[in-house]
């Protein structure tokens, strides 16, 4: 009887060890990321965002003729009223629109002089299109709608791809002296505001004939 009990005890121990080795535990975040990677299509999301949200809402972008004077006289009000950001840091994003004149064409940007603020210059990027400026400046993409930050960041990457394909070819055809209308996303630092070196990611640019 003792041998029988011992035999069953050994068998039970072996079973428990085998079962334990067969179980693989993953962090919940890893599981969510894997599930999201299988189901989330960042390119499709970005295209829908571009065509159904961003483009139809470009008229809501703040006019640079309004923004620049406010940033000079009351920067806190300007940031509170017109900027967007994910956190509470100093980096904030604006979606701006306006009219300008092409003053110079560089290797990786085009310098515009603002029509109604001729002393104000901005540089429209033509080469380095990266970061989250367009996604965040729009204020239309909520991080809480995503299962993980990877999907959220992939949306930015896909938006930037759209800009390279749809917007840059138009921008690169501009010539010095051209008058244009533009909508762009810019990043400004609340703590170190520098209006003399505004760099913009183009969203829409059109020559005025």
Instruction: Please give the full DSSP string across the chain, using - where no structure is assigned.
Output: -HHHHHHHHHHHHHHHHHHHHH-----HHHHHHHHHHHH--HHHHHHHIIIIIIGGGGGGSEEHHHHHHHHHH-HHHHHHHH-B-SSSSSEEEEEEEEEEEEEEE-SSEEEEEESSSTT-EEEEESS---SSHHHHHHS---GGGSSSHHHHHHHHHHHHHHIIIIIHHHHTT--TT-EEEEEEEEEEESSS--TTSEEEEEEEEEE--
Residue 187 in any domain: the answer is yes
Residue 24 in any domain: the answer is no
Residue 136 in any domain: the answer is yes
Residue 8 confidence class, pLDDT cut points 50, 70, 90: low
**Can you give the pTM of this predicted structure?**
0.81
Residue 146 in any domain: the answer is yes
User: Where residue 144 sits, what CATH number does that domain have?
Assistant: 2.40.50.420
The pLDDT tens digits of the residues spanning 123-162 come to 999 999 999 999 999 999 999 999 999 999 999 999 999 9
Residue 6 in any domain: the answer is no
Looking at the structure of the chain, the number of domains it has is 1
Residue 52 in any domain: the answer is yes
Which domain does 172 fall in, by range? 40-207
Residue 24 confidence class, pLDDT cut points 50, 70, 90: very low
Specify the pLDDT at position 141: 94
Better-scored residue on pLDDT, 3 or 85: 85
**Cβ atoms < 10 Å from Cβ of 177:** 8
Q: What average pLDDT does range 191-206 have in this prediction? A: 96
On the question of pLDDT at 179 being above 60, the answer is yes
Residue 184 confidence class, pLDDT cut points 50, 70, 90: very high
Residue 19 in any domain: the answer is no
The pLDDT tens digits of the residues spanning 91-100 come to 999 999 999 9
Residue 55 in any domain: the answer is yes
């Amino acid at each position: 009887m003792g041998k029988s009990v011992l035999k069953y005890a050994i068998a039970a121990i072996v079973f428990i060890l085998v079962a334990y080795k067969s179980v693989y535990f993953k962090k919940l975040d890893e599981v969510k990321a894997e599930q999201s990677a299988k189901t989330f299509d960042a390119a499709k999301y970005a295209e829908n965002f571009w065509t159904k949200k961003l483009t139809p809402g470009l008229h809501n972008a703040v006019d640079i003729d309004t923004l620049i004077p406010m940033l000079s006289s009351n920067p806190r009000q300007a940031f509170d009223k017109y900027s967007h950001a994910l956190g509470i840091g100093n980096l904030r994003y604006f979606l701006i629109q306006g009219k300008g004149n092409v003053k110079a064409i560089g290797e990786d940007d085009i310098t515009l002089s603002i029509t109604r603020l001729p002393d104000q210059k901005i540089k429209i990027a033509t080469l380095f299109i990266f970061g989250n400026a367009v996604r965040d400046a729009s204020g239309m993409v909520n991080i809480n709608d995503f299962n993980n930050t990877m999907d959220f960041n992939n949306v930015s990457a896909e938006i930037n791809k759209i800009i390279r394909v749809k917007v840059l070819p138009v921008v690169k055809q501009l010539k010095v002296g051209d008058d244009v209308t533009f909508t762009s996303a810019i990043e400004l630092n609340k703590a170190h505001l520098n209006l003399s070196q505004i760099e913009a990611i183009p969203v829409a640019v059109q020559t005025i004939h």
